[in-house]
Structure 1
Amino acid sequence: MKKSKSLELLMAIGLTATLSSTSSFVNAQENSHNNTNIPPFLLAQGGEGGEGGEGGEEYSEGEQANADFKDKMNGKQLLDSLKQGGYVIYFRHAETEKDYADQVTAVMGNCSTQRTLSEYGWNQAKMIGEAFRKYSIPVADVIASQYCRAWQTADLAFGRHVKNGDLNFPKAEDYTDEQVADMKARLIPMLTKLPPQGENTVIVGHDDLFEAATGIYPAPQGLAYVVKPDGNGGFELIANLLPEEWMKLGQ
């Protein structure tokens, strides 16, 4: 049974100050995957800040869709399928030091103007990479937004990345319908593009673009969705995984 995303996040918050290795947070208690009874602010902590309806007293539609999502595959079945290739794996970047909206003031190429990965986030990214190497999950392209927290997550996990500005936020805190439509139009082609035969594509981006394209707000930070393009311009969401769940796929 998968762990509650919200419970994992609570543990993450408590461990951040003392975490010194990835093993510090692997041994979590097993809990229910159904987190609909967890207060929304716990699920939404670590968000992009000012971009989703985080911190409120009720779930937004995107947060509820994330809480309600049920895996179509998991465990060894999912691992075996990933090893055959054909998937797009969309990661929300790993945890950052602070939570605030930086898309208006951020300067691309200048990490000091942006939110940065926390020590915990660095370890999340490294854990993801360790799992991919351990299980020989094939990866072709690794695509990241131009924000430092995204491409650094990609580089720490996979040792390489290609930046793509189409994964960046619009320069606004409150998005218009046109901006949401633009985010969707930019991400959908990436989610529907078939990877090379026998390979998977990795995308490291942000919450609001994924919500614009799928209706799901991916929380907490570090959460990944496994996407199956159908070759006809559509896709199916297969599973979501927290950073530490990758290492447990073969168990």
Structure 2
Amino acid sequence: MLRVIALLLLGVLVLPVQADQKAAWAALREGQALLLMRHTTAPGTGDPEGFRLGDCSTQRNLNDRGRREARRWGQLLRKRKVEQPRLYASSWCRAQDTALEMGFGAVETLPALDSFFSDPSSQAAQTAEMRKAIQQLPADRPVIMVSHQVNIQALTGVSPRNGEGVIIALPLSEPAKVLARIRQP
């Protein structure tokens, strides 16, 4: 009897989550939400002393695992029927490479997605700039943005792991409404 009750409770708890995820994916496909994800695995924290944005050899970059994770994101998005997305990424090579490895084509650099990890005092201004950039996006097709943990947490309150994403409702509310948290595939 306890097993039956436990299974019923599990069904009650799991079904709404699945339904919420299904609705979030539909909103993404329809331009009523966007996917904001953290770059995939790039070992370490922050960037080496003296890194330069225009020079990937000075930055913390994706490893082979991170590249495989990004390709799995592309597979997941195709499976979920997210077609011809607009791809935006921060100026950091690990974010650019995550977006490129998904296999959807061109990636537009969006400085509003740039990390403020090394300058926490710029959080408010950077987050306001990201909000402004999101609000100005055309809604003609799905949008995927690749950024960094600090940026996503500042906007949504969610602290994502490497390669984790959140589907957030559009237009943005204050705070941003998270429709679903998507684990790294």
Q: What TM-score bracket applies, with the shorter chain setting the length?
A: 0.7 to 0.9
| Post-superposition CA distance 1:82-110 (Å, at most 9, x none) | 333322110100001x2132176221121
1:229 to 159, 170, 174: 170
Change (3 A) 1:71 1:99: farther
Q: Is the 8 A contact 2:112 2:129 kept in 1?
A: yes
Q: Aligned residues: percent identity?
A: 24
Q: Is the 8 A contact 1:111 1:148 kept in 2?
A: yes
- 1:113 CA displacement: 0.5
Q: Which amino acid aligns with 1:175?
A: P
Query: C-alpha separation between the residues in 2 aligned to 1:235 and 1:215?
Result: 8
Change (3 A) 1:109 1:243: same
Structure 1, unaligned runs of 5 or more: 1-32, 34-69, 245-251
Query: C-alpha separation between the residues in 1 aligned to 2:18 and 2:157?
Result: 16
Structure 2, unaligned runs of 5 or more: 1-12
TM-score (norm 2): 0.78
- 1:140 CA displacement: 3.6
| Post-superposition CA distance 1:18-70 (Å, at most 9, x none) | xxxxxxxxxxxxxxx9xxxxxxxxxxxxxxxxxxxxxxxxxxxxxxxxxxxx8
Instruction: State which drifts further: 134-143 or 108-117.
Output: 134-143
Q: Is the 8 A contact 1:140 1:195 kept in 2?
A: no
1:89 to 35, 39, 58: 35
- Give the secondary structure class of the aligned counterpart of 1:243: coil
Q: Which amino acid aligns with 2:133?
A: M
The Cα RMSD (Å) is 2.7
Query: C-alpha separation between the residues in 2 aligned to 1:208 and 1:152?
Result: 19
- Name the structure 2 match of 1:212: 154
- Give the secondary structure class of the aligned counterpart of 2:118: coil
Q: Is the 8 A contact 2:28 2:35 kept in 1?
A: no
Number of equivalent positions: 169
Change (3 A) 1:166 1:241: same
1:113 and 2:58 matched: yes
- Give the secondary structure class of the aligned counterpart of 1:90: strand
TM-score (norm 1): 0.59
Query: C-alpha separation between the residues in 2 aligned to 1:180 and 1:80?
Result: 31
Structure ranking higher in helix proportion: 2
